[in-house]
Structure 1
């Protein structure tokens, strides 16, 4: 494993800073709070933490509207607090990744304030401005991902500006070489400070068709899915020029890294697999890991998952390393989608597939979507299109550390209410239980860390029937078989091996002929001497 980049054998852990640990009693998580909890993460067994945005921001979209790319928002602390966190993480052998938001800034960023001040301002072309059509309407039919037109009229200068998300998040014009240079310098600033990598927000969005034609209408649009799906984002996303930009980012990351201390780039890209693969680059000059989100929405069906895994593996370009994700700050939690029992099976799947997995904070506890009273809703996605269930607050509720008031997250009033059942489903309680979801994660992560076959080994799908998904992992003669029952009935099993870990806790005494309902099982295949 030492001959490979660290991120290939690593397990990443996403922290939503608002919700992890508050150190000063204001109800909002912060950098000092994260630093206080680093030993928990080391004991859990992860290798790197990724922080959702911590930069100065008006928080129209909770930090994804950046007002200053080279600082820390006062809600989370100071740049000195960040340096302390980074040093403490590195001292414990943990890597630290930041969230880079290159597609758009805040409308309060000095660049946009200049751009908006007049048509003649030197930074006018740093953002995307267009004339109205003859009837005064927006330049085209593009729709914001948060609903409504993606164009906002600016009365003072008499043009529309483009925003793929909120009007408070104007899109940067990456076709302007000055913008490109300034944003690449942001990467250099943080890399020079010691950051180990970046997750790049909405990478596939950052270049638009130069002619700004209308997007094709979606004839099968269902309003329940949100207004953004009323059109196909053919011209507003995934343009060919984005790959040259990704290559520039990769060159910077590679220049700052060295063997054993590589820097990593992870791209947020919601695209079909065949288009996703282009973000690796033709010759490995793209991002290291284009996020693979297929598990989040995949039907929980063994045959479907087997095909999906096989097709994804087959599509990887030479040298491309796979990765897997079960949830994040935008999507429903695994335990809510699949139920508590199958969430354990899903965790075994995530942590035994070939490739780099990313855990979302709290999923190791089996946290479920929170219930947010109407008067506590904070997410602009929900506020703009209420009642569709698209709001993200339920997956961002505070981390429960114990059963004390506010779950040990804060001494004040938490910015969002804690999720249901936190008095029982918290770190302290689950650490004390040998059959808890946290205990399962710790066991899986320990096994993965000690077993090259599970960390970096080859994968071979095993033919199975019904609700069973099975595959083998192998490296240098070490072999494991993973068998997962995605159903609620016993399932026939015809495998060899010695059971070493079950999602149900108690192990069969010998190679079983059946998987129990809702059981995931890892078997060690001993090779002859």
Structure 2
């Protein structure tokens, strides 16, 4: 039966700023590409990606059609957690280059019209940070201990942790120190690895230091900050016990005494004032895991940050009903605070969506099985076109434009995810989405490094030769060319990009359709083809559509863009 697409909802008006004009900003519809530096491009052949490598590939990103580049941490670090354990926030780790390399990369990006967002890690430092090392050396009387959470233990001899909090990576969230005289000392808090002690944001020196760090990188020319664990800096007064033995299962589902405390918003109000001092619309982006999208919206109120990651969308199954619900919820939550919704399918912490959608739903975001590769890629391509059609800003994780799957069969001896080596924490399989991406050639490292047969810090599968940038360029059926076409259309079509609503159209089960002005997006998330009355001219399709007697057959697991 042919299905007609009819309007079933009332579109909302554009948000109005205080001056009466529709509020605007480059971040409202930006497509932001995440670079994981160690896995993007290796300039010197040591097997590790670096800033000169990123700099050399910026023209590729410009041609892809993105608006900004977000780089995961490249600061000086012992690399206990892939750079999220920072020893010096104002220095580049030698494995990535130096400050001159960072400066050159930022300048080149700006010359190409690309903005640069850098990671900031304010919840914790490395245990090799000067402050923490001095706090250990100077003992219990050191004033630097007030910049972290040092507390005496419980029990007769202080042998028990100060409370029952668990580390996100598994095990207790506390480690006991040894005093300078060799006796057992206080405990320190680390919500992640023991090498990542949490800052005490009640201490004024910590707040002062990070305002200085912001200015350092803003003066370098960065256009914004992605704030790691943005929900974690403030802890509940008294650090109360949480109770229960399944704390990790509660994460993201409930307000925890160490996450999403209301006090974090005072920090971001202070940071927003600094961002607004600089020209060019510098932004802050929150990585905030919260129980609801409504709680996420608190981070992007007009006097706080500009964007927040939409993890509820990232975790949604390939299901039409679930997708429509999370889209509506996301747009509804952001509209009152006049912030753009953000959409993301993959990042450096979760299984790539080409593999996630290849497996049955309900397996979480770190999956150990490859699933049905063909099915996963088909759904990933369809999900990408849906994401790019939605109002707001979209994030692309490096390599997803190549249709890369997770590498699920990495040998244990090459894994480096710290949670892999701890019990009862995250699954520890994040290395699978961090394998260096393929650029060219038929032999590893596929252009990731300058020499064929050279090293890469994680091994690449042999079949990735056919997924390289070189192999896919010019092939109209490739995933790379689908991304390039989609981003060109998104940039040129007046009804795509920024906005706060979609106009849902009536559809059969398993199908989504919405209109934005003269643009229509149809998605068949079901396993069977569906015949519809064509709403217009096809602009782009994730897979080949078939015309039948003036109608169009939507293939299973497909998305089509239409010009009405």
Cα distance, 1:389 vs structure 2: 4.3
Candidates 194, 209, 220, aligned match of 2:236 = 209
- 8 Å CA contact 2:164–2:242 kept in 1: the answer is yes
Partner of 1:396: 434
- 8 Å CA contact 1:197–1:263 kept in 2: the answer is yes
Report the more deviating stretch, 177-186 or 155-164. 155-164
Question: Which SS does the other structure have where 1:407 is aligned?
Answer: coil
Cα distance, 1:407 vs structure 2: 0.6
Cα distance, 1:388 vs structure 2: 7.5
After superposition, what is the alpha-carbon deviation per residue over 1:31-68, rounded to whole angstroms, capped at 9, x for unaligned? 11111111111110001000000000000001000000
After TM superposition, list the pairs within 5 Å mapping 1:122-521 onto structure 2: 122-135=143-156, 136-156=159-179, 158-217=185-244, 221=246, 234-257=256-279, 261-271=280-290, 272-281=292-301, 284-316=302-334, 317-338=336-357, 339-370=376-407, 371-385=409-423, 389-405=427-443, 406-410=445-449, 411=451, 412-419=454-461, 421-457=463-499, 458-474=501-517, 479-494=518-533, 496-505=535-544, 508=547, 512-521=551-560
Cα distance, 1:227 vs structure 2: 7.6
After superposition, what is the alpha-carbon deviation per residue over 1:165-206, rounded to whole angstroms, capped at 9, x for unaligned? 000000011110111011111011100110000100001011
Partner of 1:9: 29
Cα distance, 1:466 vs structure 2: 1.4
Cα distance, 1:229 vs structure 2: 5.8
**Cα 1:510–1:324, aligned 2, differ >3 Å: closer, same or farther?**
farther
After TM superposition, list the pairs within 5 Å mapping 1:10-89 onto structure 2: 10-89=30-109
**Cα 1:85–1:204, aligned 2, differ >3 Å: closer, same or farther?**
same
Partner of 2:142: 121
In the aligned structure 1, how far is the partner of 2:275 from the partner of 2:144? 27
Which structure exhibits the higher relative contact order, with contacts defined as CA atoms closer than 8 Å and separated by 6 or more residues?
A: 2
In the aligned structure 2, how far is the partner of 1:230 from the partner of 1:344? 27
**Cα 1:303–1:517, aligned 2, differ >3 Å: closer, same or farther?**
same
Question: Which SS does the other structure have where 1:243 is aligned?
Answer: helix
In the aligned structure 2, how far is the partner of 1:166 from the partner of 1:425? 35
- 8 Å CA contact 1:14–1:360 kept in 2: the answer is yes
Partner of 1:91: 111
Cα distance, 1:264 vs structure 2: 1.0
In the aligned structure 2, how far is the partner of 1:452 from the partner of 1:182? 43
Cα distance, 1:137 vs structure 2: 0.4
In the aligned structure 1, how far is the partner of 2:252 from the partner of 2:112? 48
After superposition, what is the alpha-carbon deviation per residue over 1:259-313, rounded to whole angstroms, capped at 9, x for unaligned? xx210110001112121111123xx112111111122211211011111111221
Cα distance, 1:513 vs structure 2: 4.1
- 8 Å CA contact 1:217–1:232 kept in 2: the answer is no
Structure 2 unaligned spans of 5+: 1-20, 358-375
In the aligned structure 2, how far is the partner of 1:202 from the partner of 1:310? 25
Cα distance, 1:120 vs structure 2: 2.0
TM-score, L = length of structure 2: 0.87
Structure 1 unaligned spans of 5+: none
In the aligned structure 1, how far is the partner of 2:298 from the partner of 2:22? 28
Cα distance, 1:369 vs structure 2: 0.5
Cα distance, 1:463 vs structure 2: 2.7
In the aligned structure 2, how far is the partner of 1:87 from the partner of 1:324? 28
In the aligned structure 2, how far is the partner of 1:511 from the partner of 1:177? 68
Report the more deviating stretch, 65-74 or 232-241. 232-241
In the aligned structure 2, how far is the partner of 1:512 from the partner of 1:255? 55
Cα distance, 1:413 vs structure 2: 1.0
Question: Which SS does the other structure have where 2:77 is aligned?
Answer: coil
In the aligned structure 2, how far is the partner of 1:229 from the partner of 1:276? 14
| Root mean square deviation, CA, Å | 2.2
After superposition, what is the alpha-carbon deviation per residue over 1:454-501, rounded to whole angstroms, capped at 9, x for unaligned? 112442222322111111112xxxx10000111221124345222111
In the aligned structure 2, how far is the partner of 1:171 from the partner of 1:42? 37
In the aligned structure 2, how far is the partner of 1:252 from the partner of 1:376? 42
In the aligned structure 1, how far is the partner of 2:309 from the partner of 2:323? 17
Question: Which SS does the other structure have where 2:274 is aligned?
Answer: helix
TM-score, L = length of structure 1: 0.92
Cα distance, 1:14 vs structure 2: 0.1
Cα distance, 1:232 vs structure 2: 6.1
**Cα 1:388–1:160, aligned 2, differ >3 Å: closer, same or farther?**
closer
Cα distance, 1:432 vs structure 2: 2.9
**Cα 1:275–1:419, aligned 2, differ >3 Å: closer, same or farther?**
farther
**Cα 1:92–1:176, aligned 2, differ >3 Å: closer, same or farther?**
same
- 8 Å CA contact 2:33–2:398 kept in 1: the answer is yes
